[in-house]
Amino acid sequence: MSTAPRLSIGLPVYNGEDYLAQSLEALLGQTYDDFELIISDNASADSTEEIGRAYAKRDPRVRYVRQPVNIGCAPNHNYLVDVARGELFKWASDDDLYARDLIERCVEALDEHPGFVLSHSWTAMIDEHAVVTQALEYPLVTSSPRAPTRFRSTLFAPGGDDDGAVIRTEVLRRVAPLDSYHHADRTIISELALHGPFHQVPDWLYFRRDHPGRSEHEYPTVRKRASNLDPKRADRLRHPMVRLLGEYVLGYVNGIRRAPISAADKRECFRYLRQWLLSRAGNPAMGAMPIQATAELGPREVSVVSVVAGQEGRVP
């Protein structure tokens, strides 16, 4: 494509052969089509490369890149931001699914609200068979006009990641890149919240797949999860546990310092950070929380088959 697309979708993947094709079908079947889809294969050892190259050959919006070695999950995520050409950016996962109109509705919301830095929908959990198991609430108040209120919510409320979000690329490039310490995905969302409010599309359009191979299960400890984000974190001498947790806290500190907010708002954010640290004292996981609370809507009322491209012929 010679003309830059409006949106860049970055899909980092490692050994994703089980669900990658389903994810790509869901993304390529979006009602919004002004995007490039960049697959960054982190030196997979399964058939991920064959799947990625086949889709790149089939659809000109798809670009497949293979990393020569496993550079780690975090550098692979950041690589995609670096090479993105769109004014909007979205990370995608090789095992999640997306309703056909997710991107269209998120882009429309950002166009309608220029001051918002990202837009996302509600999340529903699915199992390995793409059956909805939970329809989740979004308890964070990241739509607040006040930066300290948004920041406090990202600290204390359950949840805190936005894998389904469409983000303004220039804002994403102003915050710290995804790091590899414990809960680095939470600090990047907190820093984005300091740059502006989030818009929530009030519908279950993002389907997060929970399965035995998902990173939370495959890498259950702080050390293993950090090592998955960057292999150098496996070195216990250079990266002791105190460093993995200390950098997590420092990520919040530096995010507040960099934020384009008033000195008074920064002081308020630091006050909330101190409160959060005191509330988590003695917890080695530094406040790991459940994903989100289950909403009143039952799983059977949210249908993947009816809203996700590529799932039409599957029996729910």
pLDDT tens for residues 163-187? Answer: 689 999 999 999 999 999 988 989 9
The residue type at 58 = R
Structure-model confidence comparison of residues 12 and 234, the more confident one = 12
Tell which residue, 115, 117, 121, 87, has the closest CA to residue 103.
Answer: 121
Please, where are the H alpha helices in the chain? 20-28, 48-58, 73-83, 102-112, 147-156, 169-172, 184-195, 215-218, 222-229, 241-258, 263-279, 304-307
Q: What single DSSP character describes residue 29?
A: T
Would you say 13 and 42 are in contact if contact means Cβ atoms under 8 Å apart?
yes
Average pLDDT value for the chain:
90
Please report which confidence band the pLDDT of residue 25 belongs to, taking 50, 70 and 90 as the band edges: very high
Percent of the chain with pLDDT over 70: 91
Please report which confidence band the pLDDT of residue 8 belongs to, taking 50, 70 and 90 as the band edges: very high
238/115 Cα distance (integer angstroms): 41
Quote the tokens at residue 161.
């990641």
Q: Is 198 helix (H, G, I), strand (E, B) or coil?
A: strand
The residue type at 229 = L
Please report which confidence band the pLDDT of residue 117 belongs to, taking 50, 70 and 90 as the band edges: very high
pLDDT mean over 76-83: 98
